[in-house]
Amino acid sequence: MTASEFQLGSRTVGERHLPVLIAEVAQAHDGSLGIAHSFVDAIADAGADAVKFQTHIAAAESTPREPWRVRFSPQDETRYDYWRRMEFTEAQWRGLREHAGQRGLVFLSSPFSIEAAALLERVGVPAWKIASGEIGNLPLLERLAATRLPILFSSGMSDWAELDQAVGVARAQRAPLAVLQCATAYPCPPEQIGLNVLAELRRRYACPVGISDHSGQVYAGLASIALGASLIEVHVAFSRQMFGPDAPASLTFPELRQLAEGMRQIHRMRTAPVDKDAAAAGVEPLRRIFRKSIVARGPIAAGTVLAPELIACKKPGDGLPPSCWSTVIGRRLRRDLAADEAVQEADLEP
């Protein structure tokens, strides 16, 4: 394992390795533990590698005056009330983590307070995923970096100075890290995805990079894999008509399966370089079938000086190839040729 690689559960994160596909549930469970467990099964069935939740403890992260981003919930008077309704107990989080493990998924959840981080540490997580709104929360970052677990930074609300500071906190504790390009738009239009940022993230931080995609489509994830992304995070929903603010920016499970399959195919393409000369040599029998030779248009007597009107290019490729056309013109035949007979080098005088 190189210095720019790290373990995420049983998976190795790094550009040489198969990208890790993280399916983000967020609050799509709407506070229902049963629905949260249903998401675990659906994510595993679709072929993703990890399930990610968000761990909210309302009293630790919010106040009643927190404004709504989108006033979507008629049953919650305030955003604080909504966060409180999203809370699970430690035992319930432990059950979700165990369920994920049984289905072969890496279990992740973003902590939004030091208290949430302590809860998740007790439950057991292999890494920390930092939501873009928490990049500047230095007390939280320092608490997480001290565990020396890998930290996955989502960069949607951050400028370079803020990212530099956050990465510096992780590096000061020698915590492995990855940085994900992210656009804070739900759903995100193509022109705001920022695929160009991946190369700068890799150059700037010398770490695995990826994308946290809110487009609600598979294209950004597939494109980022072709550019060497090591991590792909997407929101998921059973339907984009589900309740909640993230549903319009989510993938359905058939789309998640398509992304998972495409990710593996593209990784195979990227990590299997083709030698064009060797590939051509390997299809020599097909080259003879599909390519053409210089042939006689009609019967040609020995001693004839070949002129353009006497020859043509026709299949199969068992004689001199058309690329020899200019070197054949003006040369004298050693023997008679029948109509459509291929010209060979031995048939020509020097």
Pure H helices in 173-252: 197-205, 219-226
- CATH number of the domain at 309, please: 3.90.1210.10
141-158 per-position pLDDT tens digit: 999 999 999 999 999 888
User: pLDDT at position 3, please?
Assistant: 66
User: pLDDT at position 1, please?
Assistant: 64
Say whether both 165 and 297 belong to one domain: no
Say whether both 234 and 303 belong to one domain: no
222-274 per-position pLDDT tens digit: 999 999 999 999 999 999 988 887 888 899 999 999 999 999 999 999 999 89
18-37 per-position pLDDT tens digit: 999 999 999 899 999 999 99
Last residue of a domain, one of 253, 270, 287: 270
Q: 70-106: string of b/e by CB count within 10 Å (b at 16+)? A: eeebeebebbbebbbebebeeeebbbbbebbeeeebb
Domain for residue 1, yes or no?
no
Say whether both 83 and 176 belong to one domain: yes
Full domain range(s) for residue 298:
277-347
Task: Output the six-digit token pair for 165.
Answer: 């500071």
Kind of pairing between the strands at 231-235 and 106-111: unpaired
Listed residue (177, 227, 228) closest to 205, CA to CA: 177
Say whether both 191 and 331 belong to one domain: no
Asked whether the beta carbons of 42 and 253 are under 8 A apart, the reply is yes
- The domain tally of the chain equals 2
User: pLDDT at position 12, please?
Assistant: 95
Last residue of a domain, one of 237, 270, 303: 270
Last residue of a domain, one of 270, 286, 316: 270
User: What are the angstrom distances between the C-alpha of 42 and each of 194, 236, 253, 262?
Assistant: 29, 10, 7, 18
